[in-house]
């Protein structure tokens, strides 16, 4: 009897069906989801609680929230999110390689990191569409990193919008010039391939774009745009690093409204313009360019139209079709404060025929003043036949230590360099030193800057009318005075010596000197060869040909000349030959 019962129990045990149990429920990797009806059921099962779930085949899923890094998708596995459903990750991600792991018409949210290939990888266009899905998923939350493997990503006319602290990072930039492979995003739209602007009126902080190639394919207008010209849509503290940006029909980079952003170690190649710092109602501020290359762009390498504390350090501008750098102020209400440190400018203007061009130009279009421009340790080379290196007009300029010193000479404060040593290039406007005083209009005369020096903060002005020129110097209080350095080029035509002694407040004294050898229309200057006159003292002259010059010394600032002791001043009169 007992044997019969045992046999019956054995048969019943193996005849009963097994319900809902997976074919393989455990292992060192966790649980294989293929043994469940769908992924929703798998993740909800007590058998998978606290374990990693491996997806090795196509698994449908409905609405589901996943906490922690629970899902591992192997090659060939895929999660299909049903139409109208949402797979939500809570501050987590998926463990998978760079192959497709998501399908279906539903949405995926909450990933902290992703590959575009997770949404498709069959072609350039499919990778582009997948990249846009990854970007739009993270844009909704304002953070996350998208890693872009080597390959082509054709996003067509759709822009990538980044905001918050999103990171878009490639696996190395391509370089068409050297046939190097890389992570290449191809864009053909009228906006920007990458638009760093959240559209909400707030500041987007901390976006990173790194190690990519952005290719406009001679169709896309802008490579990367920082901020917006409308409202207060500002890009703050963005990092644009180690990208190759090429063939955009407007510019490789447009800095519209940015604060604290850093443009580092990029190459701007064969764009219409390499990069533009735009003029906008609100100022670009504290945005820096560092160690970039601007080469073979159709027009300029870099244009600066407005901004405060904009800087370029160790940047190279080479073989651009027009100027390497153009600083251009259009309205007096705008502000330009721009510094260049260790720039390299070589062989620019190679897209122009003829001569008379410059590698670096700074000018005001409405005769207002560029507030501040500093150029330290510039290196210039190969300006081209008949071309020159620098053209500066209407601004406060500080140029120091240019190389080579010949055929380039600049005085520290606002003096404009000519290709001929020791002269100022002929201009229709004026140049200004940092104190805001004009350094002379060389349209009529040229200051003999190299031999005698020009004092910072001093205004040397040439007012040419008919046959009479007046040369005078003005101190930073707006009062005329004389001093060594206010020489015109070139020959001495007369001297006079006069001991004025001590002059009381408001007093003046004068003497005359005969000008010989001058011709009508020549300008003259009076300079003090033996003593630097103090601020507030005027030495001036008006002359016609072969006439006498009246030299007058004034004390207009309340300090009698006697405070410096009795002075014997030799006034030397020069004319420009």
- Taking only the tens place, the pLDDT of each residue in 87-101 is 998 867 789 999 999
Q: Which of 197-206, 247-256, 403-412 has the highest mean pLDDT?
A: 247-256
The pLDDT value recorded for residue 545 is: 47
The pLDDT value recorded for residue 210 is: 97
The pLDDT value recorded for residue 559 is: 38
Range in 195-199, 363-367, 476-480, 494-498 with the lowest mean pLDDT: 476-480
Buried b (16+ CB within 10 A) or exposed e, 268-297: bbbbbbbbbbbbbebbbbbbebbbbbbbbb
The pLDDT value recorded for residue 395 is: 66
Kindly list the distances between the CA atom of residue 134 and the CA atoms of 78, 225, 235, 308, in Å, as whole numbers in the listed order: 16, 20, 21, 35
Higher pLDDT, 328 or 369: 328
Specify the pTM: 0.71
Range in 137-146, 223-232, 442-451 with the lowest mean pLDDT: 442-451
pLDDT over 90, % of the chain: 41
pLDDT-based confidence at 140, cuts 50/70/90?
confident
The pLDDT value recorded for residue 391 is: 79
Q: Given phi > 0 = left and psi -120 to 50 = alpha, else beta, which region is 360?
A: beta
The pLDDT value recorded for residue 70 is: 81
Is a pLDDT exceeding 50 seen at residue 247? yes
Higher pLDDT, 314 or 282: 314
SS3 117: helix
Is a pLDDT exceeding 70 seen at residue 534? no
Give the mean pLDDT of 80-91: 89
* Residues 318, 348 contacting (CB under 8 angstroms): yes
Higher pLDDT, 488 or 125: 125
pLDDT-based confidence at 26, cuts 50/70/90?
very low
Is a pLDDT exceeding 50 seen at residue 506? no
Q: What is the DSSP string of 415-449?
A: PPB-SSTT-B---SS--B-TTS-B---TTT--B-H
User: 219: which strand partners?
Assistant: none
Averaged pLDDT score across all residues of the chain: 72
Indicate the DSSP class of residue 82. Answer: P
The pLDDT value recorded for residue 420 is: 31
Strands (E), 446-554: 459-465, 468-474, 480-481, 491-499, 508-514, 524-528, 548-554
Cα 560 from chain centroid (whole Å): 51
The pLDDT value recorded for residue 362 is: 87
The pLDDT value recorded for residue 29 is: 55
Cα 428 from chain centroid (whole Å): 29
pLDDT-based confidence at 388, cuts 50/70/90?
confident
Is a pLDDT exceeding 50 seen at residue 223? yes
Tokens of 253: 């980079």
Is a pLDDT exceeding 80 seen at residue 122? yes
The pLDDT value recorded for residue 83 is: 92
> In angstroms, rounded to a whole number, what is the distance separating the alpha carbons of residues 407 and 418?
8
Is a pLDDT exceeding 90 seen at residue 243? yes
Q: Over the stretch 329-341, which tens digit does the pLDDT of each residue have?
A: 888 778 899 999 9
Tokens of 490: 């070139």
Is a pLDDT exceeding 60 seen at residue 474? no
Strand 568-575 vs strand 491-499: parallel, antiparallel, or unpaired?
A: antiparallel
Nearest to 251 by CA among 287, 226, 285, 288: 226
SS3 365: coil
Higher pLDDT, 533 or 185: 185
Higher pLDDT, 268 or 532: 268
The pLDDT value recorded for residue 488 is: 28
Give the mean pLDDT of 368-386: 85
Give the mean pLDDT of 182-211: 86
Range in 109-118, 381-390, 432-441, 495-504 with the lowest mean pLDDT: 432-441
If DSSP states are collapsed to H, E and C, what string results for 1-41?
A: CHHHHHHHHHHHHHHCCCCCCCCCCCCCCCEEHHHCCCHHH
Higher pLDDT, 302 or 483: 302
Phi, psi of 46, deg, nearest 5: -60, -25
Q: Over the stretch 286-330, which tens digit does the pLDDT of each residue have?
A: 999 999 999 999 999 999 999 999 999 999 999 999 999 999 988
Higher pLDDT, 430 or 499: 499
């Amino acid at each position: 009897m007992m044997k019969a019962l045992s046999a019956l129990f054995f048969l019943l045990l193996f005849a009963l069906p097994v319900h809902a149990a997976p074919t393989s429920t455990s292992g060192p990797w966790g649980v294989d989801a293929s043994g469940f009806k769908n992924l929703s059921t798998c993740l909800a099962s007590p058998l998978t609680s606290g374990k990693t779930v491996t997806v090795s085949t196509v698994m449908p899923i409905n609405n589901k929230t996943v906490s922690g890094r629970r899902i591992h998708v192997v090659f060939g596995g895929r999660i299909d999110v049903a139409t109208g459903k949402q797979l939500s990750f809570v501050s987590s991600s998926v463990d998978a390689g760079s192959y497709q792991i998501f399908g279906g018409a539903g949405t995926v949210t909450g990933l902290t990191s992703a590959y575009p290939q997770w949404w498709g990888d069959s072609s350039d266009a499919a990778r582009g569409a997948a990249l846009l899905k990854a970007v739009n998923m993270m844009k909704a939350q304002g953070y996350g990193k998208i890693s872009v493997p080597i390959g082509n990503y054709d996003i067509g006319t759709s822009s990538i919008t980044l905001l918050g602290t999103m990171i878009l990072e490639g696996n190395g930039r391509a370089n068409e010039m050297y046939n190097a492979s890389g992570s290449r995003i191809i864009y053909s739209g009228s906006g920007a391939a990458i638009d760093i602007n959240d559209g909400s009126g707030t500041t987007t902080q901390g976006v990173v774009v790194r190690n990519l190639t952005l290719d406009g394919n001679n169709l896309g207008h802008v490579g990367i745009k920082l901020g917006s010209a409308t409202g207060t849509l500002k890009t703050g503290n963005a990092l644009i690093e180690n990208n190759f940006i090429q063939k955009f029909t407007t510019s490789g980079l447009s800095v519209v409204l940015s604060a604290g952003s850093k443009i580092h170690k990029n190459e701007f190649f064969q764009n219409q313009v390499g990069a533009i710092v735009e003029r906008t109602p609100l100022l670009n501020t504290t945005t820096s360019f560092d160690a970039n290359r601007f080469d073979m762009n159709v027009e300029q390498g870099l244009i600066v139209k407005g901004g405060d504390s904009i800087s370029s350090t160790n940047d190279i501008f080479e073989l651009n079709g027009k100027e390497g750098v153009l600083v251009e102020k259009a309205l007096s209400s705008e502000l330009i404060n721009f510094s260049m440190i260790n720039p390299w400018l070589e062989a620019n203007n190679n897209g122009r025929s003829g001569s008379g061009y410059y590698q670096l130009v700074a000018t005001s279009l409405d005769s207002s003043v560029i507030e501040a421009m500093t150029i330290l340790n510039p290196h210039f080379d190969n300006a081209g036949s008949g071309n020159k290196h620098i053209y500066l007009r209407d601004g406060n300029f500080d140029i120091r230590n240019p190389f080579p010193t010949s055929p380039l000479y600049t005085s520290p404060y606002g003096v404009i360099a000519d290709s001929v040593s020791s002269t100022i290039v002929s201009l229709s406007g004026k140049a200004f030193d940092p104190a805001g005083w004009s350094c002379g209009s060389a349209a009529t005369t040229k200051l003999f800057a190299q031999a005698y020096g020009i004092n910072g903060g001093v205004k040397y002005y040439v007012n040419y009318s008919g046959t009479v020129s007046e040369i005078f110097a003005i101190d930073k209080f707006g009062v005329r005075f004389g001093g060594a350095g206010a020489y015109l080029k070139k020959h001495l035509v007369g001297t006079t010596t006069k001991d004025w002694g001590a002059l009381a407040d408001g007093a003046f004294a004068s003497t005359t000197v005969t000008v010989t050898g001058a011709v009508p229309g020549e300008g003259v200057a009076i300079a003090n060869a033996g003593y630097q006159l103090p601020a507030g003292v005027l030495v001036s002259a008006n002359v016609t040909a072969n006439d006498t010059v009246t030299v007058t010394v004034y004390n207009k600032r309340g300090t009698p000349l006697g405070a410096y002791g009795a002075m014997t001043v030799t006034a030397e009169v020069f004319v420009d030959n």
